[in-house]
């Protein structure tokens, strides 16, 4: 927009005149924009503040009333479970005496009256507390006018079996609550004066077998929470939060329960049409009566509302409603608009004269700057030529360095691959050395076992030699016995010959003994020969065994030396693997470093080229700046 404006301006206007025009537009337009935006934003903020404040007030008021009514509901449920009521039921069924406690019917009635009176004294918002049996007859009733408490005698008790609250409550399940609409208390069909707004809470009573035995009902002064609501309204008016603010309580049909004008309240009791839809637009009335809570802005008023639902299972409910005039909320905005307009006028009156003075000062300063720029541009031209030459030399040097680093990178990469191959071969040799060492260890273990077995064989051969000696000794004994037996047999033969005919039988025996003796001697000689051969064989075996033992010891020593040699080889190969790995790691680090250097040199090369290009562009820009400076000098 400013470009179009300056194109329209006559070319004969000096820069200072154009600057003054620009100052006027740059001052007036922003001030008006800021002022209008401030008015708009403040209006929105005040609207949101009013909405939040009114919604918070409505919610707070509704919560107070709900808390009050929830307390009544809890009290009624508590009273329905008190021992006196159950005692009255048991005594009534047992001919006037409670079989569990031996208390009489009248005694339990008295205790319940005391209990009702104590609760009404502690909570003066109760108008009546009653226990009505399943036939609708009042058993206990205690009344209060807000200060005095009266226990109703048996003669004054009535039957309420035809009343809607009794009929509806006796139908409910145990633990459920009946809540009546808020209305004015009547006596004998007439509304009592002064008005006594009342709301009734009731719950059914059951005996130990689950049979319904009546209801407990509490009549509550609705005036207690209505007056508290009005007091809050008066307090808000005294604080003057919003001028013209009004608060209402309406029932589900739109009739006023609470209104700033008392004559508009309780219209449904007197067949009057003072309702919500008579005072407010139909769409506002529908939204208030059909929603739980909300905020309405119909241009003239702001509304906030919250529903109070004493019993969700029943159609009756109350609505707390706040109304504030729109102009009351935005009175501050109107004041702000006037103040903002005055501030705009005052700021323009102050800023524009100062702007004229500063504009002339700036124009003079620009003239001085133009002269300085013209002088410095000439110096810049010479410096740029020298920088372009140096940048070209740097680019050539960087290119050569980059080529050298590329060759170094290729060499380092090849060394890395060779180091990896050496590491792999060393690892394979280490694996083979470890396998050989393991085989030597197994051989060594076998040699140890063989040594033990050879020693055991030697011991067994020695033992066998000893047994062979023993056999030789026994054979010698047998041979000696055979010789002696032979001598005895000869003697016996001689004696048999001497005996003649009588010694023939003995001679036969002696000959047989001698024959056996000869055989024994021959057998002994054969045994001696065999023993002699066995001893020679044993001696040869002992010598061979000793040679084998020496050979095993020699093999064992050689195996141990081989094991030590393999261990040394494995350590050496392992050391070589570690060194190769370290060399590979160093080469990898060197390769990474070289790559980083190459990348850095690429960046420097690109930077040098860009610097050279930038110097050329700077040179062109300086030439253009020189032209602009000359043009500016003419304009100023």
Span 392-448, pLDDT tens digits: 676 676 677 777 777 777 777 777 777 677 677 777 767 876 777 777 677 777 777
Q: 105-122 and 83-93 are packed helices; what angle lies between their axes, rounded to 10 degrees?
A: 160
Q: Which of 186, 221, 256 is the last residue of a domain?
A: 221
Q: What is the 3-state secondary structure (H, E, C) of 423-441?
A: HHHHHHHHHHHHHHHHHHH
Buried b (16+ CB within 10 A) or exposed e, 547-560: ebbeebeebbeebe
- As a whole number of angstroms, the distance between CA 303 and CA 287 comes to 11
149 pairs with which residues across the strands? Answer: 144
CATH of the domain at 110: 3.30.450.20
Looking at the domain assignment, is residue 346 inside a domain? no
**Confidence category of residue 18, pLDDT binned at 50, 70, 90:** low
Question: What tokens does 533 get?
Answer: 């051969």
Relative to beta strand 186-187, strand 190-191 is antiparallel
Number of neighbours of residue 282 by Cβ within 10 angstroms: 9
Question: What tokens does 372 get?
Answer: 């300085």
Number of neighbours of residue 60 by Cβ within 10 angstroms: 12
What's residue 10's pLDDT?
47
- As a whole number of angstroms, the distance between CA 441 and CA 437 comes to 6
Quote the mean pLDDT of the chain. 78
Looking at the domain assignment, is residue 110 inside a domain? yes
Span 108-154, pLDDT tens digits: 999 999 999 999 999 999 999 999 999 999 999 999 988 899 999 99
Looking at the domain assignment, is residue 587 inside a domain? yes
Looking at the domain assignment, is residue 19 inside a domain? no
- As a whole number of angstroms, the distance between CA 83 and CA 109 comes to 11
Buried b (16+ CB within 10 A) or exposed e, 249-265: bbbeebbbbbbbeeebb
- As a whole number of angstroms, the distance between CA 414 and CA 584 comes to 11
CATH of the domain at 597: 1.10.287.950
- Residues with Cβ within 8 Å of residue 373, at least 6 apart in sequence: 625, 629
For residues 138 and 130, is the Cβ–Cβ distance under 8 A?
Answer: yes
- As a whole number of angstroms, the distance between CA 207 and CA 93 comes to 11
Looking at the domain assignment, is residue 374 inside a domain? yes
- As a whole number of angstroms, the distance between CA 368 and CA 38 comes to 41
Buried b (16+ CB within 10 A) or exposed e, 439-465: ebeebbeebeebbeebeeebeebeebb
Question: What tokens does 135 get?
Answer: 């036939």
pTM beyond cutoff 0.85:
no
- As a whole number of angstroms, the distance between CA 283 and CA 115 comes to 50
Number of neighbours of residue 205 by Cβ within 10 angstroms: 26
Looking at the domain assignment, is residue 354 inside a domain? no
> Structurally, how many domains does the chain consist of?
2
Higher pLDDT, 527 or 5: 527
308, containing H or E segment: strand 301-308
Residue 199 has pLDDT above 50, yes or no: yes
Tell whether omega for the bond before 420 is within 30 degrees of 0, i.e. cis.
Answer: no
Looking at the domain assignment, is residue 466 inside a domain? yes
- As a whole number of angstroms, the distance between CA 288 and CA 228 comes to 22
CA 554 vs CA 116, 171, 251, 544, 567: distances in Å: 119, 116, 121, 15, 20
Q: Domain residues for 104? A: 81-221
- As a whole number of angstroms, the distance between CA 442 and CA 448 comes to 10
What's residue 2's pLDDT?
47
First to last CA, the chain: 23
The DSSP code for 265 is T
For residues 324 and 245, is the Cβ–Cβ distance under 8 A?
Answer: yes
High-pLDDT (> 90) share of the chain, %: 17
The DSSP code for 560 is H
Looking at the domain assignment, is residue 303 inside a domain? no
Span 399-410, pLDDT tens digits: 777 777 777 777
Q: Which of 203, 221, 239 is the last residue of a domain?
A: 221
Q: Which of 175, 205, 221 is the last residue of a domain?
A: 221
């Amino acid at each position: 927009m400013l470009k179009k404006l300056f194109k329209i301006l006559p070319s004969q206007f000096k820069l200072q005149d154009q600057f003054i025009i620009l100052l006027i537009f740059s001052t007036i337009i922003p001030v008006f924009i800021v002022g209008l935006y401030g008015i708009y934003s403040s209006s929105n903020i005040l609207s949101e503040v009013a909405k939040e404040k009114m919604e918070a007030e409505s919610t707070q008021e509704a919560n107070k009333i709900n808390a009050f009514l929830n307390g009544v509901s809890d009290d009624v449920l508590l009273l329905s479970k008190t021992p006196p009521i159950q005692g009255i039921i048991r005594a009534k069924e047992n001919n006037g005496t409670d079989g569990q406690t031996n208390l009489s019917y009248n005694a339990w009635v008295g205790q319940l009256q005391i209990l009702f009176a104590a609760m009404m004294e502690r909570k003066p918002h109760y108008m009546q507390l009653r226990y009505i049996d399943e036939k609708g007859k009042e058993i206990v009733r205690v009344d209060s006018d807000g200060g005095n408490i009266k226990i109703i005698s048996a003669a004054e008790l009535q039957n309420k079996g035809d009343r809607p609250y009794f009929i509806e409550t006796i139908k409910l399940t145990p633990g459920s609550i009946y809540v009546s609409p808020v209305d004015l208390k009547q006596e004998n069909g007439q509304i009592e004066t002064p008005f006594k707004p009342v709301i009734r809470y009731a719950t059914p009573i059951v005996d130990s077998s689950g049979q319904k035995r009546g209801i407990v009902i509490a009549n509550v002064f609705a005036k207690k929470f209505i007056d508290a609501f009005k007091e809050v309204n008066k307090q808000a008016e005294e604080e003057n939060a919003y001028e013209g603010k009004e608060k209402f309580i309406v029932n589900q049909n739109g009739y006023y329960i609470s209104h700033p004008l008392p004559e508009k309240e309780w219209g449904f009791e007197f067949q009057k049409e003072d309702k919500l839809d008579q005072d407010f637009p139909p769409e506002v009335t529908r939204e208030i009566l059909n929603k739980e809570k909300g905020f309405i802005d119909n241009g003239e008023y702001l509304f906030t509302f919250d529903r109070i639902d004493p019993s969700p299972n029943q159609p009756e409910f109350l609505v707390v409603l706040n109304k504030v005039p729109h102009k009351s909320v935005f009175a501050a905005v109107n004041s702000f608009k006037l103040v903002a307009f005055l501030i705009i006028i005052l700021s323009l009156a102050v800023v524009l004269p100062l702007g004229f003075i500063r504009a002339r000062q700036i124009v003079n300063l620009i003239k001085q700057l133009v002269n300085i720029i013209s002088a410095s541009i000439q110096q810049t031209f010479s410096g740029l030529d020298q920088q372009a030459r140096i940048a070209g030399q740097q680019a050539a040097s960087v290119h050569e360095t980059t080529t050298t680093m590329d060759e170094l990178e290729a060499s380092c990469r090849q060394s890395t691959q060779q180091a990896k191959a050496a590491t792999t071969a060393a690892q394979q040799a280490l694996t083979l050395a470890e396998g050989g060492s393991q085989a030597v260890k197994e051989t060594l273990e076998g040699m140890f076992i063989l040594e033990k077995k050879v020693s055991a064989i030697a011991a067994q051969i020695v033992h066998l030699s000893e047994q062979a000696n023993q056999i030789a000794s026994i054979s010698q004994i047998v041979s000696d016995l055979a010789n002696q037996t032979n001598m005895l047999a000869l003697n016996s033969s001689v004696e048999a010959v001497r005996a003649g005919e009588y010694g023939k039988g003995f001679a036969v025996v002696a000959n047989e003994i001698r024959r056996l003796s000869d055989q024994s001697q021959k057998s002994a000689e054969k045994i001696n020969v065999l023993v002699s051969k066995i001893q020679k064989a044993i001696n040869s075996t002992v010598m061979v065994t000793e040679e084998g033992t020496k050979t095993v010891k020699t093999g064992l020593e050689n195996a141990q030396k081989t094991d030590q040699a393999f261990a040394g080889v494995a350590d050496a190969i392992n050391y070589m693997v570690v060194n190769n790995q370290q060399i590979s790691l160093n080469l990898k680090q060197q390769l990474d470093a070289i790559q980083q250097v190459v990348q850095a040199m690429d960046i420097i090369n690109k930077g040098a080229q860009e610097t050279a290009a930038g110097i050329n562009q700077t040179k062109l820009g300086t030439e253009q700046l020189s032209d602009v400076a000359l043009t500016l000098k003419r304009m100023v």
